[in-house]
Structure formats: C-alpha cells, structure tokens
Amino acid sequence: MLEVLVLHALFIFLGGSGMDDYSHWKGYLAVMNEESLFIQSPYIHEDIIVYGPDSDSTTMAIAGIQYMHSKGHLIESIHLSDSIDARTVFLATGADSMAHNADLKFGDVAWDLLGGDEATLVVAKCNAQSYDFKAPTDVEIIDTDFFKDMNEAWRLEQEVHHVSQGAYVSTSQYLEGAPARLSLTSQKIGDRMIWPPRQLDENGLRIPKESHTLLPEAQVESWTKLSAAGAPSEFSLRAPILGGIQTLLVRFEQGPRGVFLVTDDLEYSPKIGDTVHFAVRRIYAQEGMIRYGLKALPKR
C-alpha cells in the first residue's frame, strides 16, 4: 500500500490498481473522488513516482487546479506548500494564495493543495478528511541515467551564477510577459486577437491591455528539432541529454501564431496539421529562478 502523507488529511492508495478513473491531463494522470483530485506524474524511477524532464510541483499544481476548473470547481484561493511558486500558480490559474497575497487570511482560503513525498499532489477542500485512490497502471519507467543527468542539469542551471550567453531575458522582462506566456492572455482590437502582447498599433495608438484569453488549442504549421550544439545557451545543459530540442510553430484557432517547445521531450513525431494543446512547464532557470511557460503536447 502506498501512502501519501499530506498536511491536513490522509489520502491512501489502495493496493489494487486500475486506470478506469484516471485521465491523462496535461501530461499527468488525474483522478477525482467527489470534490477531491489526485494528480501524479506518469513517470516511475526505482518504484518511486518522479517528475518528468520539465515538470515540478509547481507545474503539476497548476495542472491540478486547471483540472478542477475544467470540472466546474472554481478555485479562487488555495493553500500552497513552500516548494510551489505561488506567483506562477496565480498567473497561470488565477488561484491566489497566502504566499502570493499577504492580504489573504487563512480562514478565507477554501482549498488545500497537498504534496506527497513522491511526484503526487492532492487538491481538496480544506475540510476534507480522507479518500482512497487506486494506483494508476499507465505509468512509464524512466531511464536511470537520463533521470539522474536531467536532475543534475537542472540543479546546475538553478545555481545563482548561471546566466545565459548573448541574449538575456531579465527577471522584470520575464515577469512582464508571464501572463501571456503562462495563460495565453491576449489583446483584442475589433475581431482581431493579438498574442504575444504588443504596444502601439499601426495608427500609433496604445493597444489595450490583455483582456481575453486564447483557447489553449492550436494546429501545427511547421516544426523542427534543433541539434544540441545549436541550442540557445539557456538549454545548453539539458539539450545534449535530450538529444536536441523540438519546437513547433502553431496557429491558434483565433488567429495568432506562436512557437513552443514540446512538453517533457515526448517521443512525438509532429505532422503539419496536428492539433496540440498546452501545459505549463519549466522552460529554463537563470540566476536561481525557474522561468515557467507553456509547452505543447499532442492531443491524445
């Protein structure tokens, strides 16, 4: 029996397993039990559930909250553990937390996000007691060398002195673009959606701030896989382990185009015309700060 210890409640895996209730959600496995969600990484290393190459507790927390939103459970505020980047969660989902908003009072927060020792999370109402979840079977064993090399690369990348060569995105510039990068917020002029955000229009007038959101689904217009040697320095530690990095040029249904990396370095051979959707993942780290953004994953 696999136990997931949490802050306020006990969630227990039953010894049996089955996939009936689990759904694939943004690269994770998710299952609901009444108003509670259990979400986990699909990767296993030495019998332990581990995060994939570009996932962490923040990205899975975002996926979990988004799952709840998709099921009609609006999470306006949530308790988060210290390991989760509360600002990124807020920008990606709108769910506030005491770690992000000092004015928020403990008693006003209705939801908990509870982490386990492994790459598992539970999203539940604060008054939840305990629920049982069957362990999923649709998991993938991750190669030991790959797992260790990726973790070491991320560790090095997150060191404070790690700064990219050449082009450089400052922290303030990253944060300025974060809403559009994390949740596809876009501007609108008439019927035209604009993403990523722009400043002035052809008439020299200020384009209104982002007030709409692009539907998180797009079609592949082109793609490439860049060899490790040709990758930007932000990816120079991980690209050789991944055997290169794969980028898609996609067009959203509402018009704008964008370029996105592929989630978790999936074994995916894209074709022009494929439909993809998006999940928040780690993009790279610089000066001790992980920068998050959307990556594409093929629609199953």
Could you tell me the CA-to-CA distances from 205 to 133, 201, 202, 208 in Å, in that order? 55, 5, 7, 9
Give the list of residues 6+ apart from residue 264 with CB closer than 8 angstroms, or none.
Answer: 27, 52, 53, 54, 55, 281, 295, 297
Residues 193-212 that bind another protein (CB under 8 A): 196
Q: Can you tell me which of 28, 43, 90, 235 binds another protein, judged by CB under 8 A?
A: 235
Q: Alpha-carbon distance 54 to 51, whole Å? A: 8
- Count of C-beta atoms within a 10 Å radius of residue 157: 20
Q: Using CB under 8 A, which of 130, 144, 173, 275 touches another protein?
A: 173
* Rg of the chain taking only CA atoms, in angstroms: 20
Binding another protein (rule: CB under 8 A), the pick from 22, 43, 111, 260 is 260
Distance in Å, CB of 143 to another protein, minimum: 22
Among 216, 232, 240, 298, contact with another protein (rule: CB under 8 A): 232
Closest CA to 35 of 134, 176, 100, 129: 129
Q: How many C-beta neighbours within 10 Å does residue 201 have?
A: 14
User: Per CB under 8 A, does 223 bind another protein?
Assistant: yes
Q: Is 171 in the site for another protein (CB under 8 A)?
A: no
Note whether 53 binds another protein by CB under 8 A. Answer: no
SS3 string, 12-70, reads EEEEEECCCCCEEECCEEEEEECCEEEEECCEEECCEEECCCCCCHHHHHHHHHHHHHH
Q: Does 64 bind another protein (CB under 8 A)?
A: no
| Residue partners of 90: CB distance under 8 A and separation at least 6 | 96, 97, 100, 101
In which element (H, E) is residue 257 found? strand 257-261
Binding status of residue 42 toward another protein by CB under 8 A: no
165 binds another protein (CB under 8 A): yes
Only one of the segments 3-11, 81-89, 122-130, 245-253 lies at the binding site for another protein (rule: CB under 8 A); that segment is 245-253
Give min distance, CB of 153 to another protein, in A: 14
- Cβ pair 101, 107 in contact under 8 A: no
Q: Measure the CA–CA gap between 66 and 237, rounded to whole angstroms.
A: 30
Q: Is residue 249 near another protein by the rule CB under 8 A?
A: yes
Does 126 engage in binding with another protein (CB under 8 A)?
no
Q: For residue 52, how far is the Cα from the chain centroid? A: 11
Nearer to another protein, 102 or 229 (CB): 229
Q: What is the DSSP letter of 219?
A: E
CB closer to another protein, 32 vs 239: 239
> Cβ of residue 91: shortest distance to another protein, in angstroms?
16
- Closer residue to another protein (CB): 1 or 167: 167
Residue 155 within binding range of another protein, rule CB under 8 A: no
Site string for another protein, 279-298 (x = CB under 8 A): ----xx------x-x-----
Residue 68 or 280 with smaller CB distance to another protein: 280
| Contacting positions for another protein (CB under 8 A) | 164-169, 173-174, 177, 196, 221-227, 229-236, 245-247, 249, 256-261, 272, 283-284, 291, 293
